[in-house]
Amino acid sequence: MTDHQPPEENYSKANEDFLKAVYLLQQDQERVQTSVLAEALNISAPSTTEMAKKLAKAQLVIHEPYRGIRLTEAGERIALEIVRHHRLLELFLVQALGYAWDEVHEEAEQLEHAVSERLMQRIAEYLGNPRYDPHGDPIPGPEGDIHDRELTPLAEWEIGEKGLIARLRDQSPEMLRYLDDKGLVIAAQVEILKTDPFDGPLTLLVDGTEQVIGVNVAQYILVAPYENPH
Ligand SMILES: [Zn+2]
């Protein structure tokens, strides 16, 4: 006999990933369709339905055929805990271990299931109980409380108005490296100098340096007013 039980461990990791994916998709849609969830989890639609049924039995999701899936309160509590682990770990890797912001997501995907509440509490204290991760996503508190902010896509920002970069919607490593090259990082000061017509490029002032980006990239950058960044 060993003290590790891989099948059960994988089972709980799969469940946690499932609940987390529903939570993240629920930010944009009230009920999550099986096909959308299957794509996010990179598993087949039948496996997704099967898992949804199991989790519905455990009263962690509500699954109504043809209407989609949503979390129960108990399901949301688990999802928020995993999201808290993920985002705290990302920030810890950046701030304490010197990782770049495009390198942390995959590490956190693995670690989020393995860490104890005690370790997460110590990491949160070490980081000063932060509210946002390296990509500007809110970090749920130990009770699942979230400090969400009203942010505006840079593409819709007023010309000549100073703002602070607060959150990124596209967090693929390629996009993060591109934004980093342009100085478009969290808490950078940004101002639109001019926009070209017909969805043309935006000319920006980023921490005092002129930069040009496409309007589609500007959709992914969320901005807070300069006076009141949080
Ligand atoms: Zn991540």
Q: How far is the CA of 105 from the centre of ligand 1 (A)?
A: 4
CATH number at residue 194: 2.30.30.90
Q: How far is the CA of 1 from the centre of ligand 1 (A)?
A: 35
Angle at 94 between CA 191 and CA 137, to 5 degrees: 55
Question: Is 151 in contact with 217 (CB distance < 8 Å)?
Answer: no
Q: How far is the CA of 80 from the centre of ligand 1 (A)?
A: 13
Query: How many structural domains does the chain have?
Result: 2
Lowest pLDDT segment from 90-99, 131-140, 219-228: 219-228
pLDDT more than 70, % of the chain = 94
Q: Is the whole model's pTM more than 0.75, yes or no? A: yes
Q: What letter does residue 139 receive in the DSSP assignment?
A: P
- What one-letter code names the amino acid at 223? V
Local confidence band at 67 (pLDDT 50, 70, 90 cut-offs) = confident
Is 41 inside any structural domain? yes
Alpha-carbon gap, residue 227 to 162, rounded angstroms: 9
CATH number at residue 35: 1.10.10.10
**Dihedral angle at the C-alpha atoms of 154, 155, 160, 162, nearest 10 degrees?**
-10
Q: Flag whether pLDDT at 213 surpasses 90.
A: yes
Is 46 inside any structural domain? yes
Provide CB contacts within 8 A for 19, sequence distance 6+.
Answer: 55, 60, 61, 71, 75, 76, 78, 79, 82
Q: What are phi and psi of 151, to 5 degrees?
A: -120, 155
pLDDT of residue 30: 85
Q: If you average pLDDT over residues 63-80, what whole number do you get?
A: 93
Q: How far is the CA of 33 from the centre of ligand 1 (A)?
A: 22
Is 87 inside any structural domain? no
Q: How far is the CA of 178 from the centre of ligand 1 (A)?
A: 17
Q: How far is the CA of 171 from the centre of ligand 1 (A)?
A: 8
Q: How far apart are the first and last CA of the chain?
A: 52
Alpha-carbon gap, residue 223 to 150, rounded angstroms: 9
Q: Which of 71, 90, 121 delimits the end of a domain?
A: 71
Is 31 inside any structural domain? yes
Is 214 inside any structural domain? yes
Q: Measuring CA to CA, which residue among 139, 170, 138, 141 is closest to residue 153?
A: 170
Q: What are phi and psi of 31, to 5 degrees?
A: -120, 140
Question: Is 146 in contact with 83 (CB distance < 8 Å)?
Answer: no
Q: How far is the CA of 91 from the centre of ligand 1 (A)?
A: 10
Q: Which of 40, 71, 102 delimits the end of a domain?
A: 71
Question: Is 21 in contact with 37 (CB distance < 8 Å)?
Answer: yes
Q: Which of 17, 43, 71 delimits the end of a domain?
A: 71
**Dihedral angle at the C-alpha atoms of 66, 33, 149, 137, nearest 10 degrees?**
160
Q: How far is the CA of 160 from the centre of ligand 1 (A)?
A: 32
Q: How far is the CA of 40 from the centre of ligand 1 (A)?
A: 14
Is 95 inside any structural domain? no
Question: Is 71 in contact with 59 (CB distance < 8 Å)?
Answer: no
Q: Where are the alpha helices (DSSP H) in the chain?
A: 6-26, 34-41, 45-57, 73-95, 104-111, 117-126, 173-181, 215-220
pLDDT tens string 78-101: 999 999 999 999 999 999 999 999
The whole-chain average pLDDT of the chain stands at: 92
Q: How far is the CA of 37 from the centre of ligand 1 (A)?
A: 17
Q: How far is the CA of 200 from the centre of ligand 1 (A)?
A: 31
pLDDT tens string 9-23: 566 899 999 999 999
Is 42 inside any structural domain? yes
Q: How far is the CA of 153 from the centre of ligand 1 (A)?
A: 20
Give the three-class secondary structure for 159.
coil
Q: If you average pLDDT over residues 40-68, what whole number do you get?
A: 93
Joined together, the tokens standing for residue 202 give 């935006």
Lowest pLDDT segment from 53-67, 102-116, 216-230: 216-230
pLDDT of residue 3: 47
pLDDT of residue 2: 43
Is 99 inside any structural domain? no
Domain of 217, in residue numbers: 152-225
